[in-house]
Chain A
Amino acid sequence: DAKTTQPNSMESNEEEPVHLPCNHSTISGTDYIHWYRQLPSQGPEYVIHGLTSNVNNRMASLAIAEDRKSSTLILHRATLRDAAVYYCILSAGLSNYGGSQGNLIFGKGTKLSVKP
């Protein structure tokens, strides 16, 4: 299974942008890049995902390198509620029956702290 590498922790100031990096040098052509975050005592929460092009939604932006071997999650203005563990995950995109289609392989993620 493809793996990702993230920094263990990062700090940010409130209302400043945050760039969370992720390396995935063994990504295959059909792997999607997903980001989830997890607040204490809660299940993971979907943030954003993409395949090749940069993506934007109400929560964040995802910038994907041209060679797809790295990506960056961008929180445009961090708030205290954004303090969480952020996971970068590769997910097989083929819609076949069986195999490892869709199950997410989590690493340890990046623990983001936000200072007031």
Chain B
Amino acid sequence: DTGVSQDPRHKITKRGQNVTFRCDPISEHNRLYWYRQTLGQGPEFLTYFQNEAQLEKSRLLSDRFSAERPKGSFSTLEIQRTEQGDSAMYLCASSFGAGSQPQHFGDGTRLSIL
């Protein structure tokens, strides 16, 4: 069990650029979640996948955000035309089985928009 890994750990980009983050979940986990966390706040749910199917998206996930999980393994989160307000820590988590099961989090990708 190597845990959930996220890449990159830090991303600095100019406003208006596109960015993509990758998450590799624990291998046998069928559920994968994306959260966003700003300074001083708890993480906020963005979206989740069960295998390759994206089953729920938060209202926080604007049209500029898209997430994929091809083949039910790793996932990518893309933000197009980044804005200052997108600066945050983007966290990925995975779990196995029903919604009550514990989620295992990665250490996140910190995005800074210049």
Interface of A with B (CB < 8 Å)?
32, 34, 41-46, 49, 51, 85, 87, 91-95, 97-109
A residues within 8 A CB of B44? 106
**In the complex, residue of chain A having the shortest beta-carbon distance to the beta carbon of B44:** A106
| Option from B33, B35, B41, B105 in Cβ contact (under 8 Å) with A102 | B33
Give the distance to chain B from A48, nearest Cβ to Cβ, in Å. Answer: 9
Give the distance to chain A from B110, nearest Cβ to Cβ, in Å. Answer: 9
Interchain CB contact under 8 A, A43 and B108: yes
Chain B contributes a number of interface residues (CB within 8 A of A) equal to: 30
CA distance A101 to B103 in the complex (A): 12
**In the complex, residue of chain B having the shortest beta-carbon distance to the beta carbon of A105:** B45
Give the distance to chain B from A56, nearest Cβ to Cβ, in Å. Answer: 15
Interchain CB contact under 8 A, B43 and A98: no
B residues within 8 A CB of A108? 40-42
A residues within 8 A CB of B35? 104, 106
Interchain CB contact under 8 A, B99 and A91: yes
B102 interface residue, CB < 8 Å from A? yes
Kindly name the residue among A34, A49, A101, A104 whose own CB sees the greatest number of chain B CB atoms within 10 A: A104
CA distance A104 to B45 in the complex (A): 7
Interchain CB contact under 8 A, B99 and A43: no
B residues within 8 A CB of A92? 99-100
